[in-house]
Amino acid sequence: MNLVIDAGNSLIKISVFRENTELFHEQFEISLFVERIKSVFKKYTSIDNAIVSSVGALDKKDIAVVSLFCNVHQLSHKSKTPFKNSYATPESLGVDRIALATAAFYKNPNGNTLVIDAGTCMTFDMINDYGEYLGGAISPGLSMRYKALHQQTSKLPLLKVEDIIDFIGNSTNSSIHSGVVNGISAEINGVIDQYNQRFKDLTVILTGGDALFLSKRTKNTIFANPKFLLEGLNYLLEYNKI
């Protein structure tokens, strides 16, 4: 069995896999990490390998706890990948984007795939039909846009993500919701249109915490898979055992 750990900017997400089948999944705050890890190993005693993808939430002590129970691979730009990495600065490529590119490579090995990760940040990652990672884009996610409007102004309130009834806001709150939700939806649709013009038979996969919320607001045909990154980590763990 494999344990995959995705330490994002907001939450820790973990899954237990037997081959490519997910047996268990949960997410929690960093403060609960040690408690939850011990619980998982108590329940799944056959876990013998783990992979950790962290954008900064976990420190060496946390990873050392996992290593008490099994072999641990800490994902980095030095990890082996099944795709050709054509990123100009591979050492700066985020481990989350490496995992997403890997999942895209295995899910659509002979096609053009654009992965959109709608999390704290929104990332766009492109794998072409030659199995080559080309790069993409990074922009603020939904929650970050709400926070920026509040923190960078003196009077705008901090709102939580909410769907819009009409794109014309008739109050300050509804105007903020329209600007954020309608704006990020227009961005996603516009970026997909750009990629469609360059890449034939493009497959678009939307993942991340806000994937299901945003999927209904896209005009393009997409596949929503909130656990795509975790699947990519499992593929990477298997690939780095070789």
**Residue 117 annotated as lining a ligand binding site:** yes
User: What is the DSSP annotation of 42-78?
Assistant: HH-TT--EEEEEESSS--HHHHHHHHTTSEEEE--TT
Confirm whether residue 6 is marked as ligand binding. Answer: yes
* 166 assigned to a ligand binding site: no
Cα-flanking dihedrals φ and ψ of residue 234, to 5°?
-65, -40
59 is in an annotated binding site: no
Cβ burial of 198 (10 Å; 0-12, 13-18, 19+) is exposed
179 is in an annotated binding site: no
87 three-state secondary structure = coil
163 among known catalytic residues: no
Cα 135 from Cα 132, distance rounded (Å):
9
> What letter would DSSP give residue 156?
P
8 a known binding residue? yes
| Other Cβ atoms closer than 10 A to 223 | 16
Q: Is 20 annotated among the ligand-binding residues?
A: no
Is 95 annotated for ligand binding?
Answer: yes
Catalytic: which of 96, 125, 166, 210?
A: 96
Q: Which residues are annotated as a binding site for ATP?
A: 6-13, 120
Q: Which residues are annotated as a binding site for substrate?
A: 87, 94-97, 172
Q: Which residues are annotated as a binding site for K(+)?
A: 117
Q: Which residues are annotated as a binding site?
A: 6-13, 87, 94-97, 117, 120, 172
Residues assigned a catalytic role = 96
